[in-house]
Amino acid sequence: MFPSLSDEQRHFVSTVRELAQGEFRERAPRYQDGTFPWENLRELAQLGILGMAVPEEYGGLGLGTLESALVLEEIAKGCYATAMMMLGEIGVQCRIVSHFAPEALRQKFLPRIVAGECVMAICITEPDAGTDAGRMRTNAEVRGDTVVLNGAKTLISRADVGDLFIVFTRVDRRPGGEGIGCLLVEKGTKGLIAEAKYHTMGGEMLSEVRFEDVEVPIENLIVRENGIRRLFNAFNVQRCLNSAICLGSAEGAFDECVRYMQVREIAGHPIAEFQGLRWRLAECAVKLESARLLLHRAAVGADSGLPSATDTAMAKLSCNRAGYETADCALQLFGALGFDEDSVVGYLVDRTRGWLIAGGTVEQMLNRIAGGMLARDAEAAPRNGQTLKAAR
């Protein structure tokens, strides 16, 4: 537990932990095939947890990034699929609506999010535009008081069950990142076609989404330009949240491993007594705790002002690596049982592996961290031809 948490935060996290371990953990196998966890969504809505990121004036709790990360970590320990569902309700989608949508749309959608009546899907990735979002071709043409959307998105989470689609798109074919905007499209809108096509190693169903002359009111164009910049700022927060899911999943694998090592015997001794295996467990514990501290620092920074791209990249990189390495180590310590198709730790290896790609690859995070370090060094470098010796 992070040492500076308030009593209120600790109680909140404890409540979520009891639910995740007491209810969600038992149900988790039901959702390994990509089935959406509707039952868990309703329970979280009843507790008000789905409204964590929704401002209080719309019926939410108005909590920050740190609380969201803590909750996702606990839920992921019990049920990965439920954590992923939760990410869609308290993550970047919700924040985009609450920050950029006009008042009428906030009043329409935000209370529904709190009540668990609005599943959101964010549509960014295209067949030829993944990490390089500036290459997207989907276009929204403004025609008076309406907007007509055409294009295609791929590998979209929750699109098969989505009620509201947050679509990043080019506006009036303007080039570059400045020409990217954001549009809200509701389920059932004519010309919106979402088809579940990919069942990932992580157990999630991803969809292809097509927009064929989709018409929406001009008010739904909530960001008209410079959407890439706003998206990147929002994704600095999102990276704290998907890092929390990766971390929580790994902790679930770690906990399973600790229990197993104390009951599995070789030559009459629990394998927890073997020094080589104990060291591997200790190394995993250090990796997880180090990653958690970086995550909490980034989350606190995000709540204090503009999220730091460097801090969030460090958090994601460390959580992704620690998460996958810990889950993989747990599988190894389980031996052949870990490789079984129904193994919990095997399941979590697949889930944590995906985060080395999703939400920004680890290579992209390394570039962001290096860029931040070089920019900081450039600001501190001597000016006007001063040598380092003269500067001292």
CATH no. for residue 368? 1.20.140.10
| Domain endpoint, select from 205, 225, 245 | 225
Within a domain: residue 350? Answer: yes
Contact status, residue 81 vs residue 37, Cβ threshold 8 Å: yes
Residue 45 included in any domain: yes
- Residue 385 included in any domain: no
Same domain? 63 vs 151: no
Residue 77 forms part of a structural domain: yes
Which domain range does residue 274 map to? 228-380
75, 87 Cβ separation under 8 angstroms: no
Structure tokens at 193: 């076609």
Domain boundary among 72, 89, 114: 114
The partner residues of 168 in beta bridges, in order of sequence, read: 182
Q: Are residues 309 and 376 in the same domain?
A: yes
- Boundary residue ending a domain (204, 225, 246): 225
Same domain, 74 and 150: no
Q: At what angle do helices 65-78 and 80-90 cross, to 10 degrees?
A: 160
Residue 292, sorted as left (phi over 0), alpha (psi -120 to 50) or beta, turns out to be: alpha
Q: How many domains does the chain have?
A: 3
Residue 338 domain flag: yes
Same domain for 107 and 136, yes or no, is no
Q: What does the pLDDT read at residue 392?
A: 44
Residue whose entry in the numeric block shows the structure tokens 């791929």: 154
Q: Are residues 173 and 108 in the same domain?
A: no
Kindly report the pTM of this predicted structure.
0.88
Question: How many CB atoms are closer than 10 A to CB 143?
Answer: 11
279, 239: one domain: yes
Whole-angstrom distance, CA of residue 328 vs CA of residue 250: 9
**Integer CA distances (angstroms), 7 to 55, 110, 301, in order:** 21, 28, 20
pLDDT in tens, the chain (392 residues): 455 778 888 888 999 999 999 999 999 989 888 889 999 999 999 999 999 999 999 999 999 899 999 999 999 999 999 999 999 999 889 989 998 999 999 999 999 999 999 999 999 999 887 777 778 899 999 999 999 999 999 999 999 999 999 999 999 999 887 889 999 999 999 999 999 888 887 778 899 999 999 999 999 999 887 767 766 677 788 889 999 999 999 999 999 999 999 999 999 999 999 999 999 999 999 999 999 999 999 998 888 766 688 999 999 999 999 999 999 999 999 998 888 877 888 888 988 998 998 888 999 999 999 999 998 766 655 555 454 444 44
Write out the two tokens for 91. Answer: 């993550």
